[in-house]
Amino acid sequence: MKHSPQDLKYISAKTLSHYNQNAESFFTGTIGHDVEQNINALLSYIECQAPFKILDVGCGPGRDLKVISDLGHIAVGLEGADRFVEMAQTYSGCQVWCQDFLQLDLPENHFDGVFANASLFHVPSQELPQVLRALFATLITGGVLFSSNPRGNNQEGWNGGRYGAYYDLETWRDFMLTAGFVELTHYYRPPGLPPEQQPWLASVWRKT
């Protein structure tokens, strides 16, 4: 079913409202998560000279933004939930842009890397192509995009107060290749567990 513009506004507003209302508990519940594997996956494929310019898409309260900045890179956050924007700026000390994923306004050919950890799955599938095109455009030639999303069987809809789309590897790959990216690698998380206990699909892509 195709979403109307009104549907999309509702999906975005309700999902962001959920995060605004649960910002403090979300921060407490996720601050200790170890995503070093994901950050390293992005940084290891960037070929230009450090420090890198990194856009953290859906940065939440700023956990990963701070890690990337502390590694010496120029990190900019992007977040749609007002409360998270405030928290991320305070926690990381980085610049954070308040933008809805469905209305991105990004500089072209600017970032060396895009880090999208547990964020792009909130984009309704019909809008994902335009979001990926915007992220493609904001990367320099040769730039790298990392994404990690909860995987599934290509179903989408509401999960509590949040909207999500849950792709398998083949469908996610189709979206990324259509947007112009070249696949570098993919893996499932958490590491060291059997596949049925790895709910996260992580992948790395290059703009060529």
Domains in the chain (CATH in brackets) are: 5-207 (3.40.50.150)
Per-residue pLDDT tens over the stretch 13-30: 999 999 999 999 999 999
Q: CA 127 to CA 130: how far, in whole Å?
A: 6
* pLDDT of 98 strictly over 90: yes
Where does the pLDDT of residue 188 fall: very low under 50, low under 70, confident under 90, or very high at 90 and above?
Answer: very high
Q: Whole-prediction pTM value? A: 0.97
> What pLDDT score does 34 carry?
85
Per-residue pLDDT tens over the stretch 144-163: 999 999 999 999 999 999 99
